[in-house]
Structure 1
Amino acid sequence: MKKVSSVFYITVSLVIVAVFIGALFPELSEQVTTNVNAFLSTSFGWYYMWVMTFLIVISIFIIFSPYGKIRLGKNHERPDFSTPSWIAMLFSAGLGIGLVFYGSAEPLFHAFYDAPLSEPGTDQAFKEALSVTYFHWGIHGWAMYGIVALTLAYFQFRKDEPGLISATLKPLFGDKMKGPWGKLIDILAAFATIFGVATSLGFGAAQINGGLSHLFGIEVNFTAQFIIILIVTVLFLISAWSGISKGIKYLSNVNMVLATVLFLAVIIVGPTLLILNMFTETFGMYIQNIMKWSFRTASLEGDNRAWLDSWTIFYWAWWIAWAPFVGMFIARVSRGRTIRQFMIGVMIVPTLIIGVWFATFGTTAGFVQRSGVDLTQYVTEMVLFNMFDQLPISFILSMIAILLIFSFFITSADSATFVLGIQSTHGSLTPPNNVKIIWGLAQSAVALVLLYVGGLTALQNTIIAAAFPFSFVMILMVISLIKSLNKEVRVLRRK
């Protein structure tokens, strides 16, 4: 354990304390997370909106600036992974379980239960539901991932700094980042990663439990979810042991194959023409309204503030909480690419894939709902499987979905153990297996405690609290990156 830094011991200790408090005082823990969530959502919703929009503006500026030609690595280096494998890995790490969990349920909810803008159940609400879903999962989140990953990759591969969040702030604070302040920043990043990933693991366990209940009558309860997390923990630890070039790479490709099969199957057996028409129109609506929605704060009483807090603010916090994990992972697999190629790939490709995915599953759910089958009566994790019941080959579709969730589950957790290993071993790109195992057990324990404390509500509440402090670190990372890039461009022009 010579490689291990104090970040490892401090963060693990904090996680253990949080797990014990949650397990021993579940009602108190739920109350605290609910109060913190309410305070941050109400008082700082405007702040989350500005941060996410600011990152899009910075990303676009970087793409079209002279910085775009700079390579993430030395000038002679080329990408370590092929473009298809690269896209598969960033897609699996950056989205994963959420796509399956919310693919049908979110557009359905916005369209037929609690529409953000129009009367629920109307044609306009149906269209707006898909557009708002693209907004939540599209370019805002990926611009943020891109900026964090770019900053990490640039300092690590171009400037030979360790792969740590604190190392990216040296242009601003110098050697202070080697002391207690740097440690504090790395601990914040590790803590946000643990709780961000644990939230997705909780969602995944709940939906796997829901699918198995729907198909085989297995009861939906904490015991079943405990067993599911236990099984998946063993599987992703085996994958983590094999390393990034084997386990994560192969699983990411499996994810893409399973996701493609499920996607094509639903398009074929679902309302094909309606899906294509709805995607075309609603993606256009998304592009037209992106600026207006980026600054929507529901400031007056009749503006449905509760919806904004439960959806948009929650999503922005969720993306931020995942930023250290996904950013570090994307940085690790992106060595050798130019900044322009990197940012375009990270922002545009996933956004388009997301649009097609949600158009397919959201339109199909809306089609089933409008045919007379009330899908809104089911909890989120059950919507997908009840939608499949109304389509041909429903059992096959449900089984593929469960396998896909399992695969995404393993990949996300595997990637997180790798990233947490980097954060707690002085930035080492080959963290020891025993460190990765401890982190794997820690994030599974947090997911279980959150499910035990308050189910999915506790998961959502915790995300917003975990994300808030790291958002300030992220802003400093952007300033540090621009300062360093400006200096490098001036040097290159003099040569």
Structure 2
Amino acid sequence: MKKLSIVFYLTMVLIILAVGYGALAPESFETITTTIKSFVASTFGWYYMLLMTFMLALSVFFILSPYGKIRLGKDADRPQFSTITWISMLFSAGMGIGLVFYGAAEPLSHYAINPATAEPNTDAAFKEAFRQSFFHWGFHVWAMYGVIALSLAFFQFRKGEPGLISSTLKPIFGERMKGPFGILVDVLAVFATAFGVSTSLGIGAIQINAGLNYLFGVTIGIIPQIIIIAIVTVLFVASAWSGLSKGIKYLSNTNLVLALALLGFVIILGPTLLIFDIFTDSFGGYLSNIVQMSFRTAPLNASNREWLNDWTIFYWAWWISWAPFVSMFIARVSKGRTIREFVTGVLVAPTLLGAIWFSAFGTTAIDMQKSGVADLAQASTELTIFEMFHSMPLSSIISIFAVMLIASFFITSADSATFVLGMLSTKGSPTPPNKVKLAWGITLSVIAVILLSVNGLDALQNTIIIAALPFSFVMLLMVASLIMALKSEVKLMKIKK
């Protein structure tokens, strides 16, 4: 593997140290990371709120500004993938498995267990549940991914730079980015990606195990989860081996078909009219309250601030920690699109799909809870969706679809991650060697298995949220660098005319 950079070896050393500590002293690891995570949330919550809102404002600016005409590539380049395939790739890599995991559980929690400001089990909590869910999975998240992906795509495809986070900072730091600071930036990106995806693999294995338990009585435990991870590893490595335009493309399209089928089942078999009413009313409420929600820190209300730390600020840090992986992948599949087309697509399509998804699954779950059909609030997060299906017609068929979709999203996320990690480990190669992708695929799965075995997923989740803070400063530098480069590009385009 001659193409491997020093970033690969340094990150592997950090991974071994972190996983070793987590495996040998899981309680100590979790205690320390929980303390640091709480400190970050309480101290930098205001900063995360302003940062994510700034990213949304910046996205709107890029759509409306003259920069929107610039193409991510040469002027003659056109998109490699159709719009539908492109959107399915955004959806799959960005948050597909998370929507299945939290689609019913999060709105239900905001309604019945711990609402943001309303009283539990009230109509006010019902409406607020969806505004908050849309907020956590909507415009702010995709604006942040879009801006970072835009920076990566612009420098890689328009300026011919390597596909690395460090390459986007050259307008500010010049050739110094080829030295230790550039290596540090790329190591941070690889570390966050590896642990973020490993956490997703662990969560995915837990939910697939829960679905198989519901359908076929498979025991819930570490052995079945390890077997699930092993099978999925073989599948996603095989897909990654086949390349971007085959494996990931076909899997992403399959995900979209399965997701729309499952969504259709829930809308038709659930409280259909209520679903559409809730979507319309709540999305309007989300839009009309978005400014207030964007700046809310609850400085004088301890219980509301605790809720923000546990939900909104947690989510903002979580999404930032995923930015190196998701944004890198989005950039890689977006060559040939204009900035206006790119930012609009990334901002609008996944947000609307997510809002419809939460409306269907969340409304169905809350309606069951409210009417007494099922006490879903008592179910664990991974079982909520299956307990909901149990009270619906054709429950077994819908559950099988759900397990298939989770597995498909599971494979696509890991597949996309091995591709991105391969790029970051081989000096930005757009076609990383299969052996590098294989090495990362095995590494991700081993991390997930080890930490599942010692109940270390929470500590791992804390770790990558902590890593989000230093990467957020890198994001701001990327924005400054991008604006500098865009100004120069516009002047260059005028000269060429």
The answer to whether residue 63 in structure 2 is matched with residue 40 in structure 1 is no
Separation in structure 2 between the aligned mates of residue 49 and residue 225 of structure 1, nearest angstrom:
36
1:17 aligns with 2:17: yes
Number of the residue aligned with 2:488: 487
Q: Give yes or no for contact 1:202–1:447 (8 Å, CA) kept in 2.
A: yes
CA contact 1:195–1:321 (8 Å) conserved in 2: no
Please report how far the alpha carbon of residue 458 of structure 1 lies from its aligned counterpart in structure 2 after TM superposition: 3.0
* Structure-2 separation of matches of 1:429 and 1:181: 22
Residues 285-304 of structure 1 mapped to structure 2, 5 A cutoff: 285-304=285-304
Query: How do residues 346-361 of structure 1 correspond to structure 2 at under 5 angstroms?
Result: 346-361=346-361
Q: Distance in 1 between matches of 2:409 and 2:347?
A: 20
Paired AA for residue 271 in structure 1: P
Equivalent residue runs for 1:97-176 within 5 Å = 97-176=97-176
Deviation readout 1:123-164 (Å, 9 max, x if unpaired): 110111011000000000100110111000000000000000
Q: Matches of 1:357 and 1:70 in 2, distance apart?
A: 33
Per the alignment, in what secondary structure is the counterpart of residue 71 of structure 1? Answer: coil
The corresponding residue for 1:406 is 407
Structure 2 SS opposite 1:190: helix
- Does the C-alpha gap of structure 1 residues 53 and 453 become closer, same or farther in structure 2, counting only changes over 3 Å? farther
Would you say the 8 A contact 2:23–2:456 is kept in 1?
A: no
Take 2:289 and 2:67, find their aligned partners in 1: how far apart are those partners? 29
- Alignment check: 8 A CA contact 1:314 1:460 kept: no
2:26 and 2:456 in contact (8 A); partners too = no
Per-residue displacement from partner, 1:391-447 (whole Å, max 9, x unpaired)? Answer: 100011111001100000000000000000000101101111111111112222222
Q: Distance between the aligned counterparts of 1:287 and 1:204, measured in 2? A: 31
Q: 1:294/1:449 Cα in 2 relative to 1: closer, same or farther (>3 Å)?
A: farther
SS class of match (1:219): coil
Per-residue CA distance 1:295-315 (angstroms, 9 max, x = gap): 111212444222211111111
SS of 1:299's partner is coil
Point out the more displaced range, 449-458 or 189-198.
Answer: 449-458
Moved more, 12-21 or 363-372: 12-21
Distance apart, 1:456 and its partner CA: 5.2
Aligned residues, how many?
A: 495
1:106 is displaced (CA, Å) by 0.2
1:232 equivalent to 2:232? Answer yes
Deviations 1:325-361 (CA, angstroms, capped at 9, x unpaired): 1111111110000000000000011111111010000
Give matches, 1:354-433, under 5 Å: 354-372=354-372, 373-433=374-434
1:95-145 CA-partner distances (Å, limit 9, x unpaired): 121010000000000001100010010011011101100000000010011
* 1:64-106 Cα deviation digits (max 9, x unpaired): 1110000000001111111111111111001121010000000
- Give CA deviations for 1:8-54 in whole Å, capped at 9, x if unaligned: 11111211222222111111111122112111111111111111111
Residue pair 2:298, 2:304 contacting (<8 A) in 1 also: yes
Query: Structure 1, residues 229-272: CA drift from partner, whole Å, max 9, x if none?
Result: 12111111111111111110000001001001000011111100
* CA-based RMSD: 1.2
Aligned mates of 2:282, 2:322 — CA distance in 1: 27
Task: Tell me how far apart the structure 2 counterparts of residues 231 and 144 of structure 1 sit (CA, whole Å).
Answer: 33
Which runs of 5 or more residues in structure 1 are unaligned?
A: none
Correspondence 1:193 to 2:193:
yes
Distance 2:455 2:308 in 1: 21
The residue type paired with residue 77 of structure 2 is E
Structure 1 counterpart SS, 2:106: helix
Secondary structure, counterpart of 2:120 in structure 1: coil
Aligned to 1:328: 328
Distance, in Å, in 2 between the alignment partners of 1:89 and 1:240 is 14
Alignment check: 8 A CA contact 1:297 1:308 kept: yes
2:150 counterpart letter in structure 1: L
- Cα displacement string for residues 440-495 of structure 1 (whole angstroms, at most 9, x for unaligned residues): 12222222333334355335423311212111111100000000001111222333
The amino acid across from 1:91 in the alignment is: F
1:219 equivalent in alignment to 2:219: yes
Q: Which whole-Å CA distance do the structure 2 matches of 1:453 and 1:118 have between them?
A: 37
Between the aligned partners of 2:35 and 2:223, the Cα distance in structure 1 is 27
| SS class of match (1:300) | coil
Report the more deviating stretch, 103-112 or 303-312: 303-312
Q: In the alignment, residue 237 of structure 2 is paired with which amino acid?
A: L
| Matched residue type, 2:435 | N
Give the letter for the 1:427 counterpart. Answer: G
- Whether the 8 Å contact between 2:30 and 2:456 is mirrored in structure 1 is no
Compute the displacement of 1:218 (Å): 2.0
Contact 1:146 1:346 in 2 (8 A): yes
1:63 maps to what in 2? 63
* Alignment partner, residue 184 of structure 2: 184
Distance 2:468 2:443 in 1: 18
Amino acid across the alignment from 1:129: A
Aligned to 1:337: 337
Deviations 1:201-254 (A, max 9, x none): 222111111111222222222222222112111111111111111110000001
Tell me which residue corresponds to 2:317: 317
SS at match of 2:219: coil
Is 1:458 the counterpart of 2:459? The answer is yes
CA distance in 2, matches of 1:306, 1:217: 38
Q: Which residue of 2 aligns with 1:474?
A: 475
- Structure 2: distance between partners of 1:161 and 1:229: 36
Cα distance in 2, alignment partners of residues 206 and 270 from structure 1: 26
Question: Normalising by structure 1, what TM-score?
Answer: 0.98
Q: For the residues of structure 1 that align with 2:99 and 2:396, how far apart are their CA atoms?
A: 20
Kindly provide the amino acid, as one letter, of the partner of residue 334 in structure 1: S
Bigger mean CA deviation after superposition, 275-284 or 31-40: 31-40
Q: Distance in 1 between matches of 2:203 and 2:66?
A: 42
Relative to structure 2, which stretch is displaced further, 35-44 or 334-343? 35-44
1:256 pairs with 2:231: no
Provide closer, same or farther for how the CA distance between residues 197 and 121 of structure 1 changes in structure 2, counting only shifts above 3 A: same
The separation in 1 between residues aligned to 2:168 and 2:421, in whole angstroms, is: 17
State the match for 1:439 in structure 2. Answer: 440
Deviates more, 1:447-456 or 1:379-388: 447-456
